[in-house]
Structure 1
């Protein structure tokens, strides 16, 4: 099948299109989309490839896909907006908003610790099932009662899935709405974009089928082989939740993990957002400028939310390079370079990249349904080309 790239690029951004197309090299079953706004105006809007390798359905202008941990960035926008509106305090103890969270010695954990992966709750102590992770009340009740895995704020470890439930429950209690509803009310409805935390059933036909690429399969195989059978693998449990999810987050069946309609419909704000690249780029653009008729965050809020909170070597022995985080936002680091050091956003498993850069005026989103891991430079090369185009 001959690859066709659809969409538009503004004059001068042709190299961006070339790098997007290069990402499909030797990947005949891959689909992807790329959207970039500059100073609130679209300059790149591209899509191509295959949305579902089982049926060979093409990736269309309407295709949306699971964005995995890019969802954490969206949830961090919601938290930042509550701070901006004077309804939430990053420095406050979590118990100010969620009294039950004080159990098992967590009374001093602060909101900022939930956001910056420092709460000690990166994985559940008791294994969770698929049915349980689609039940919001069950999960937050378990996490609220759980003893931390390490002394909170003494270090950090990536809260791969639990992050969304932890800060999401605070958002729910402060806003009086579920995370998905608050996201719709504050962001997607005003901007008129296709993005959800908890997919409505009538939108399911638009979602790309996610697939495990060869390098992701290789990575998870390496991790399994290196695992010490007599030690608890808390980093692995952060991804699998003890059995509810595969290490790759999808499979082995066609409808398992985040290919499951039930999981997509649930509000799992650590990894379960679904969006188009066009929607994500518009959202991130609206954090830094009036874009689509809305400005989501002011400059002071962004400055506070992007002060580094966690960086360097984590609690568990995880090889670098390591990301940096502010108040939930992934910051510029060796693990993810943005167009300038002022960028903030969040990557997602398998190659997803989404961010804003106030210094460059950029809202950016790259999404793909072929999940890769080792030396995956598809998104990175596009960001590098964009930086070169902007002369940064």
Structure 2
């Protein structure tokens, strides 16, 4: 039995059982779970290893890379700017970022670009890891990129490029860099969350491990590639060589201090589960005296903009998207129709639910892929309680 640390409020005991079950058969895994209801912490748990190589346990304040959960947090920033009138979700992105209007991308709206409809899920040029660390360099290349389809008329998951889109929206609309704007939002809640891990926290993040199902999926995808045909899905993850297909390795990708310190808004937030849950909670309920979004802003930002089959063939179920927010769907089941959030590579899940005033975050350093039910079972248990 894994040793579980933390607290569970009365009535939420089933959540503890589901969290413990996430560790079954994964003795090297570490992870944390935080849930708030009406702003109040009802679950705050952690367990396992932050780095099994050196027997470092997961502590109360262990941060971890949350991968694409970063997109949801960046979308909160954009929604806040929309609420203040500095961003119009239905106006062309090029009105904020004129350089992005090149090569037929002039008409795509801010909201549709955030909903993976901009036509630039990957770059056609190969990036080095060093170039990946340069936010301005990648943003310029993305602005100059020719879209793969007429923007706004189809969608495909912008696995990493989404972050430079949201980051530029924040920078152009607020006058602050994405990293500074994110830090200001986190500071409102006293949250241990960073977009670009500061030097004083180097080495604090959990070490990431690639599990068997993720290794197998990447190997299967590589075997199915047709020579001479661009695999845009892989390029979306690797940017042509800047990252491994799994996003991490023993000493590469998001396991390295340089990548963790870089501003990569589509995947690079480093945070504790407690911090992420607090930020999501504050989108739907006053949390530690802070409300990040009002109800009307949530409704506007979570209007469905993308659903159905993507531009590149993929079997169902398919996700649904608002203005950067992942909505409840068969592909990612949350609590119900008023839920919005974002999951992340390897098993991370974070979201809020407007009806039940829930903020949720599950993070793990043990990355799996196919049939990974760890977070899903926790969400299912929570649904049974709050329903």
Q: TM-score, normalised by structure 1?
A: 0.97
SS of the equivalent of 1:347 reads strand
Match in the other structure for 1:218: 216
Question: Superposition pairs for residues 11-90 of structure 1, below 5 Å?
Answer: 11-90=10-89
1:100 positional shift: 1.4
Structure-1 separation of matches of 2:82 and 2:372 = 35
Structure-2 separation of matches of 1:70 and 1:307 = 19
Match in the other structure for 2:244: 246
1:151 positional shift: 1.0
Match in the other structure for 2:285: 289
Q: Is this contact kept in 2: 1:62–1:206, CA < 8 A?
A: no
Number of positions where the alignment pairs a residue of Structure 1 with one of Structure 2: 387
Structure-1 separation of matches of 2:89 and 2:206 = 36
1:188 positional shift: 0.9
SS of the equivalent of 1:112 reads helix
Match in the other structure for 2:261: 265
Question: Superposition pairs for residues 1-392 of structure 1, below 5 Å?
Answer: 3-185=2-184, 187-251=185-249, 254-390=250-386, 392=387
Q: Is this contact kept in 2: 1:255–1:261, CA < 8 A?
A: no
Structure-2 separation of matches of 1:278 and 1:373 = 24
1:222 positional shift: 1.0
SS of the equivalent of 2:352 reads strand
Structure-2 separation of matches of 1:202 and 1:373 = 32
Task: Detail structure 1 runs of 4+ shifted over 3 Å in the superposition.
Answer: none
Gaps of 5+ in 2: none
Gaps of 5+ in 1: none
Structure-2 separation of matches of 1:321 and 1:54 = 37
Q: Judge which range, 292-301 or 315-324, deviates more.
A: 315-324
Q: Is this contact kept in 2: 1:92–1:110, CA < 8 A?
A: yes
Structure-2 separation of matches of 1:108 and 1:40 = 39
1:313 positional shift: 0.6
1:3 positional shift: 2.1
1:115 positional shift: 0.3
Q: What CA deviation, in whole Å up to 9, does each residue of 1:163-192 have, x standing for no partner?
A: 00012112111111111100111x211100
Indicate the RMSD between aligned Cα atoms, in angstroms.
0.9
